[in-house]
Each structure stands twice: as structure tokens, then as C-alpha cells.
């Protein structure tokens, strides 16, 4: 495998003229293929109810080299991870102990609100729903020194609102188009379509939703997308919606928590009914088969206690929950940490189901509450090799390296269990990329790329688990930025070049 030399020399030189030509081909491809965001808007000026324009999503001009064998490993791990997280979500006692009262719920308000809503449903005797997970397991390549082999290490496992499945398929399509139409001017024999894996994420994720819809059993029911107000990443969601409609004949209703607060109701037989927002002539509520949350992963999404009540109302129905409160809690970073403790993963996954491979994809994690101050001391001592994380999703919440000691010093002792320390994964340092963001100059910089693998799982008590791997994504960011994401730094969509 020519991995080392590939990393140190990537990407090969392109002239300014070649780069400009690729940029034109890439941006027009993006604008032609829904590789789009809605434009930014200022908080003072609400965006128009019907958008008039869009911008291309940020992306990398060339695909990113990933060792073939590690890519295959990431894909093949997904089914073990699907199974693992399904079983965790069904283990009420485990989740209560880790995330419930007496655990994280007493310390972290957001976890507490989600767990309390789930506990209340159980106390009221509401039967547990069918659970659908549309998951994304995220990895970085790990190579602590240039003498070490490159391996694959997991960053985190997402059980709610995992996004960019559809747009990543479009980026992979764009890189394939550039390879096939320009061969990137012959700069590298690696840039051949045989080295670009197919990415069928839209089909894969829609199949998960379709399977759940079918399990619900009423063919003209709608799938409900619970969305954030003024979502700019709407095309990533619409592509899934079109796939559901065109390939499976399933209709989608999109509403925010605020809207559902007035439109959602539960029938005596526990069907979830949702009335249209702009009722027009026909305001008849529709029955919902599957509730797919693209909102609700962050406290910001719950503007008031009423929104938590709405979440609980949706879950009190017999619509499939993607994810259920239990499955959302299973995706907590504290759960990720507890799983790494001796024997815990192995309670959920047997050797023949790949427990050792899963464990091998982890770096060291521990709770700041470990052993009477030892966990916090260790985090301070080893700060430069670490990130510490709270129970949050969506980027921008972690604390890195030299910021750790002063943070830990001021953190009240009782809050320590809600923070996990994690060894920093060390990606190969010598990879470059050309990053393109609408309205900005093209940037040529050293980068770090994060590989995500999608999967789905449909499960419930007394029902056989169904699960599949469902495509992948790559996100690339400048190497000096700790987190990718919207607010911090410069993170773009990317795809895989097998090397
Ligand atoms: P979130 O749920 O908010 O996305 P993550 O755990 O994915 O939280 O952390 C956000 C980002 O921080 C990741 O995408 C990655 O770039 C960086 N990061 C997180 N954990 C590590 C780690 N152990 N080593 C290196 N980078 C990390
Ligand atoms: Mg993440
Ligand atoms: Mg996450």
C-alpha cells in the first residue's frame, strides 16, 4: 500500500488555470445537483417563506485519500455498531443507571429533560414505541508518529439528526464527474473512477425510513420530519423526502416543534395525527407512521418546556420514533465512555458479533469523575493529548488541550460525571486540499478529514432487529481547526479516494 507517499504528496500540483477550470465545473455541478444550502440570513430580517435562491454547499475540489482497507473496515464495522446501539436503547436499566436520576440527569439539565420525559411515559404505562435509528459513526485516521501504521479510530456515534447523507452522495457524484470528464488533467493515476467508491446514502437512509413505515402498516400515513425553523440545510432533507415519495410512494410532512405544539394530537387508539400548517381548504389531519427528528438534538431546539412536552406527546403515540428518547440517550458521550470500561461493551456484543473489532476502533476515554479525583487529575496532567466533552451534539461544545486545566479547575466537582476525557486522535499531517465555500476565495491548506458511515436499525421489544449499512460521508477541515462545523472554522463536504 503506497499510503505514506500518497499522504505526503497529496494533492499533486495543479496550475492556476487548471484549478479555475475545475472550480467552474465543480460549482456548476453543485448548483445543478442540489449540493446546496439556503443563503445565510440576518436575524433581523427573516428569510422569505419561499426561497428564491440557494448557494452551493462548501466542498473540497479533490476527493481525499483513504486507505482502501481502512475504508472497508469502517463500512464493515457499521452493522456491529447498529446492533450495539439498538441493544443499548432497549436496556432500560443500563440507560437509567448511566443517564438517569442519580446519573447524568441530576447534573445536566438537557439530559435530565430528555430522560424525565422518557421516564414519565414509562410511569404512565405508555407502551414503548418501535425505534428507528438513522445512525452515523464518525472516524478519523490515526497515526501518532510517521513510523506508526495508519489505523481507524472512532470519534463518536450519532443517534439523532445525523445529517449530510444526501449532500455527501452529491459530492461523491461531483468528484466522479470531475474524474471522468477531466481526469484532473492527468495529475495522478490514483484519480481514476475505480478508486471512487459508490455512495448510495439517499437510497440507504430512505430504505430505513421505508422499512419503519411498512412496519407501522398504514400505507397512506405520512412520515413526519421534525425540523428546525429556518433550516439552511434543507436540500439534504428534501433529497430524502423525494426518494421516499418517488421510490416508495411515501409522503412527508415537515413541521417544527413550535408548529407541532398546535397541530399534533393523539387519537384514542394512540395514532399520531398532525394537521397541516397552512390549512387552506383542506385542514384534515394526517396520520403519522414515522417521526424523523432533524431537530431536538440540542437544547436550543427546545425554546420552552412546551417543546419538551411536544416531544413526549409524539413519543406517546404508536408512531415509530427516529430516534426514540431512549435511542437519543444511548448516543450520549457518557454512554460512549462507559462502554469502554472493562466488560461493558462485551455485555452488549458477543465476540462473533465483532466486539473486539469495535473495541479496537476506540481510543482511551474516561469520566472526569473517575476514582476520587484521579480522572480530573489525569485530564489536567495529560491535557495536551486530550479533548474533553459534555453531553451535547452539533459541534462547538468541546474543550481542547491547553484550555483543559483551567476549565477543570473551575468545574464544580458534582458536574464532573457529565464530562468525558478522550485521547486525541492523530490524523496524518501532510494532506492538503483546495476548499471552496460560496462567496469566499478558494483556500489551499493542510487538512484533516473525518469519515462518517451511515447505518439504520429498526427494532423494538419482542421484534427481530433489522439493520443495514447505508453509505458514508467525508468532512474535511483545515488542520489547525479543532472542530469543523458551521460557527467554528472551515469544514467542507468531501468524498473518498481509495489508495
Ligand atoms: P459533536 O457531537 O458535537 O459533533 P464530536 O465528538 O464529533 O462532537 O466532536 C466534534 C469534533 O471535534 C469532531 O468532528 C472532531 O473534529 C473533533 N474531535 C472530537 N473528538 C476528537 C478526538 N478524540 N480527537 C481528535 N479530534 C476530535
Ligand atoms: Mg461529531
Ligand atoms: Mg455528534
pLDDT tens, position by position, 127-151: 999 999 999 999 999 999 989 999 9
Tell me if residue 389 is catalytic: yes
Distances (CA, A) of 32 to 26, 198, 264, 274: 10, 20, 36, 34
Question: What is the model's pLDDT at position 41?
Answer: 83
Residue 204 CA to residue 69 CA, distance in Å, equals 22
Nearest CA to ligand 1 atom 9: 395
E strands in 193-269: 222-226, 252-255, 264-266
Tell me if residue 158 is catalytic: yes
53 burial (CB, 10 Å; 0-12 / 13-18 / 19+) is exposed
- For residue 442, report the distance from its CA to the centre of ligand 2, in Å: 25
Q: Average pLDDT of 312-324?
A: 98
Tell me if residue 283 is catalytic: no
- Which ligand 1 atom sits closest to the C-alpha of 427? 25
- Convert the pLDDT of each residue in 252-297 to its tens digit: 999 999 999 999 999 999 999 999 987 555 689 999 999 999 999 9
Binding site membership for Mg(2+): which residues? 156, 158, 393
Q: Average pLDDT of 89-116?
A: 97
Nearest CA to ligand 1 atom 15: 483
Question: What is the model's pLDDT at position 258?
Answer: 97
Residue 344 CA to residue 328 CA, distance in Å, equals 19
Domains (range + CATH), the chain: 3-363+425-498 (no CATH), 364-424 (3.30.1490.50)
Nearest ligand, CA of residue 142? 1
- Convert the pLDDT of each residue in 431-472 to its tens digit: 999 999 999 899 999 999 999 999 999 999 889 999 999 999
Which residues are CB-contacts of 48 (< 8 A; sequence separation ≥ 6)?
none
- Convert the pLDDT of each residue in 378-400 to its tens digit: 999 999 999 999 999 998 899 99
Out of 328, 386, 387, mutate this one to test ligand 1's pocket (max ligand atoms within 8 Å of CB): namely 387
Nearest CA to ligand 1 atom 22: 424
Question: In this model, does residue 83 exceed pLDDT 50?
Answer: yes
440 burial (CB, 10 Å; 0-12 / 13-18 / 19+) is exposed
Distances (CA, A) of 449 to 63, 376, 455, 494: 10, 30, 20, 8
Tell me if residue 238 is catalytic: no
Contact criterion met (CB below 8 Å) for 329 and 99: yes
Split at pLDDT 50, 70, 90, the class of 488 is very low
Q: Is 306 in the pocket of ligand 1 (CB under 6 A)?
A: no
Tell me if residue 100 is catalytic: no
Split at pLDDT 50, 70, 90, the class of 111 is very high
Q: Average pLDDT of 49-77?
A: 96
Give the 3-state secondary structure of residue 173.
Answer: helix
Q: Average pLDDT of 98-119?
A: 97
Nearest ligand, CA of residue 485? 1
ipTM field: 1.00
Amino acid at each position: 500500500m503506497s499510503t505514506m507517499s500518497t499522504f505526503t504528496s497529496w494533492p499533486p500540483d495543479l496550475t492556476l488555470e487548471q484549478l479555475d477550470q475545475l472550480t467552474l465545473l465543480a460549482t456548476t455541478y453543485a448548483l445543478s445537483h442540489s449540493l446546496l444550502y439556503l443563503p445565510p440570513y440576518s436575524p433581523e430580517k427573516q428569510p422569505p417563506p419561499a426561497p428564491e435562491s440557494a448557494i452551493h454547499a462548501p466542498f473540497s475540489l479533490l476527493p481525499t485519500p483513504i486507505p482502501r482497507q481502512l475504508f472497508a473496515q469502517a463500512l464493515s464495522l457499521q452493522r456491529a455498531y447498529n446492533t450495539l446501539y439498538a441493544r443499548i436503547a432497549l436496556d432500560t436499566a443500563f440507560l437509567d443507571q448511566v443517564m438517569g436520576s442519580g446519573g447524568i440527569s441530576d447534573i445536566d439539565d438537557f439530559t435530565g429533560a430528555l430522560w424525565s420525559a422518557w421516564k414519565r411515559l414509562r410511569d404512565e404505562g405508555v407502551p414503548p414505541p418501535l425505534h428507528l435509528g438513522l445512525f452515523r459513526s464518525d472516524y478519523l485516521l490515526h497515526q501518532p508518529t510517521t513510523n506508526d501504521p495508519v489505523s481507524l479510530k472512532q470519534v463518536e456515534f450519532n443517534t439523532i439528526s445525523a445529517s449530510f447523507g444526501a449532500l455527501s452522495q452529491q459530492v461523491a457524484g461531483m468528484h466522479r464527474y470531475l474524474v471522468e470528464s477531466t481526469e484532473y488533467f492527468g495529475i495522478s493515476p490514483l484519480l481514476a473512477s475505480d478508486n471512487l467508491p459508490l455512495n448510495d446514502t439517499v437510497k440507504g437512509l430512505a430504505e430505513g425510513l421505508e422499512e419503519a413505515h411498512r412496519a407501522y402498516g398504514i400505507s397512506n400515513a405520512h412520515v413526519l420530519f421534525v425540523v428546525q425553523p429556518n433550516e439552511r440545510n434543507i436540500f439534504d432533507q428534501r433529497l430524502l423526502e423525494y426518494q421516499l415519495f418517488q421510490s416508495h410512494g411515501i409522503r412527508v410532512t415537515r413541521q417544527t416543534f413550535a408548529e407541532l405544539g398546535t397541530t399534533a394530537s393523539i387519537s384514542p387508539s394512540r395514532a399520531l395525527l398532525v394537521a397541516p400548517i397552512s390549512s387552506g381548504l383542506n385542514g384534515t389531519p394526517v396520520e403519522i407512521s414515522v417521526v424523523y427528528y432533524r431537530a431536538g438534538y440540542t437544547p436550543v431546539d427546545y425554546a420552552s418546556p412546551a417543546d419538551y412536552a411536544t416531544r413526549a406527546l409524539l413519543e406517546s403515540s404508536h408512531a415509530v420514533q427516529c430516534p426514540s428518547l431512549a435511542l437519543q440517550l444511548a448516543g450520549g458521550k457518557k454512554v460512549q465512555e462507559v462502554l469502554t470500561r472493562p466488560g461493558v461493551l462485551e455485555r452488549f456484543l458477543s465476540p462473533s458479533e465483532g466486539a473486539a473489532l469495535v473495541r479496537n476502533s476506540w481510543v482511551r476515554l474516561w469520566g472526569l469523575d473517575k476514582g476520587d479525583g484521579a480522572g480530573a487529575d489525569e485530564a489536567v496532567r495529560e491535557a495536551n493529548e486530550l479533548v474533553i466533552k459534555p453531553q451535547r451534539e452539533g459541534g462547538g461544545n468541546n474543550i481542547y488541550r491547553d484550555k483543559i486545566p483551567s476549565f477543570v479547575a473551575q468545574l464544580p466537582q458534582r458536574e464532573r460525571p457529565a464530562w468525558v476525557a478522550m485521547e486525541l486522535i492523530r490524523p496524518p499531517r501532510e494532506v492538503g486540499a483546495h476548499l471552496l465555500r460560496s462567496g469566499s476565495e478558494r483556500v489551499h491548506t493542510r487538512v484533516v478529514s473525518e469519515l462518517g458511515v451511515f447505518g439504520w436499525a429498526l427494532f423494538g421489544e419482542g421484534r427481530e432487529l433489522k439493520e443495514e449499512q447505508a453509505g458514508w460521508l467525508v468532512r474535511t477541515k483545515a488542520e489547525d481547526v479543532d472542530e469543523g462545523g458551521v460557527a467554528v472554522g472551515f469544514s467542507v463536504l468531501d468524498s473518498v479516494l481509495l489508495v
